[in-house]
């Protein structure tokens, strides 16, 4: 089990760091980081996620890295993700929010998005990333009122919602070759998040929404046989339809 901590490097945010540590189920610390430790670090103008290998800059807790190109770009509804979500959707639930990157992209594409994350530490990461939106005028215009996050087990929380589409991004199986390791955010997410029962989560999602979209590696197995598939260059989207709707 990894060590999780919160630190403030801004004197005015020390009390905030203590409160966030309580919310995150983490410790408040300013000691040197140990092996297998992950730390939320508060600065006066930003927040970062550090690990023991971080030297000067950690991973920014922000949605500013979302590719916001329109037209035929990343936010186009003609891209595989947009086609998988479908033209009739209004409310989407991302039941495996993680760092919120996919949820924020979907919200930037114009949908109302609710993300669900069961891990306390990651929920605090999402809280800080969402608060950072207020510091970026472009993101605030795109995301204001469109993106929110809930803490809880998706298999329970989903039954309290009424989405048009449920989006799932189960963690990809770690690759064995060092040269083919996933990018650092994915490595950190694999270290922090507990594995889920993907088949059970899919079953619950199908009972709640008329359409479920599951992100998979382009050559990875499906959880179960999908009704539709939309392929990108590196990932694909398996779509499951509720035929009773």
- Beta-carbon contacts of residue 88 (< 8 Å; ≥ 6 apart): 164
User: Which pLDDT tens digit goes with each residue over 73-92?
Assistant: 889 999 999 999 999 999 99
Residue 182, pLDDT score: 52
Least confident residue range of 25-39, 56-70, 182-196, 204-218:
182-196
Q: In the structure encoding, which two tokens stand for residue 169, read together? A: 């991004």
Residue 231, pLDDT score: 97
Determine the distance from the C-alpha atom of residue 91 to the mean position of all C-alpha atoms in its chain, rounded to a whole number. 17
How far apart (Å, rounded) are the C-alpha atoms in residues 147 and 111? 9
User: Which pLDDT tens digit goes with each residue over 102-119?
Assistant: 999 999 999 999 999 999
Q: Note the helical H segments in 60-113.
A: 80-85, 101-108
How far apart (Å, rounded) are the C-alpha atoms in residues 167 and 220? 17
Question: Per-residue confidence at 178, pLDDT binned at 50, 70, 90?
Answer: very low
Residue 196, pLDDT score: 78
User: Which pLDDT tens digit goes with each residue over 3-45?
Assistant: 999 999 999 999 999 999 999 999 999 999 999 999 999 999 9
pLDDT of residue 136 exceeding 50: yes
Overall size of the chain counted in residues: 245
CB atoms within 10 A of CB 180: 8
**How does strand 91-94 pair with strand 112-117?**
parallel
Cα dihedral 165, 233, 189, 154 in deg (nearest 10): 10
């Amino acid at each position: 089990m990894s060590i999780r901590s919160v630190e403030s490097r801004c004197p005015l945010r020390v009390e905030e760091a203590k409160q966030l540590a309580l919310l995150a189920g983490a410790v408040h610390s300013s000691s040197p980081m140990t092996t297998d430790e992950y730390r939320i670090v508060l600065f006066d103008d930003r927040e970062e996620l550090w690990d023991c290998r971080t030297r000067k800059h950690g991973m920014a807790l922000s949605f500013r890295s979302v590719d916001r190109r329109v037209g035929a770009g990343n936010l186009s509804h003609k891209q595989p993700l947009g086609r998988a979500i479908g033209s009739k959707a209004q409310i989407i639930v991302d039941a495996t929010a993680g760092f919120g990157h996919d949820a924020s992209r979907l919200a930037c594409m114009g949908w109302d998005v609710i993300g669900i994350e069961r891990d306390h530490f990651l929920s605090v990461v999402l809280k800080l990333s969402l608060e950072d939106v207020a510091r970026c005028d472009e993101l605030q215009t795109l995301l204001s009122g469109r993106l929110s996050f809930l803490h809880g087990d998706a298999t329970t929380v989903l039954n309290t919602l009424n989405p048009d589409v449920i989006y799932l991004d189960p963690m990809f199986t770690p690759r064995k070759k060092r040269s083919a390791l996933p990018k650092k955010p994915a490595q950190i997410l694999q270290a922090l998040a507990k594995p889920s029962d993907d088949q059970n989560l899919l079953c619950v999602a199908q009972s709640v929404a008329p359409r479920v979209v599951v992100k998979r590696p382009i050559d990875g197995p499906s959880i179960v046989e999908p009704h539709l598939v939309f392929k990108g260059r590196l990932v694909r989207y398996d779509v499951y339809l509720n035929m009773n709707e």
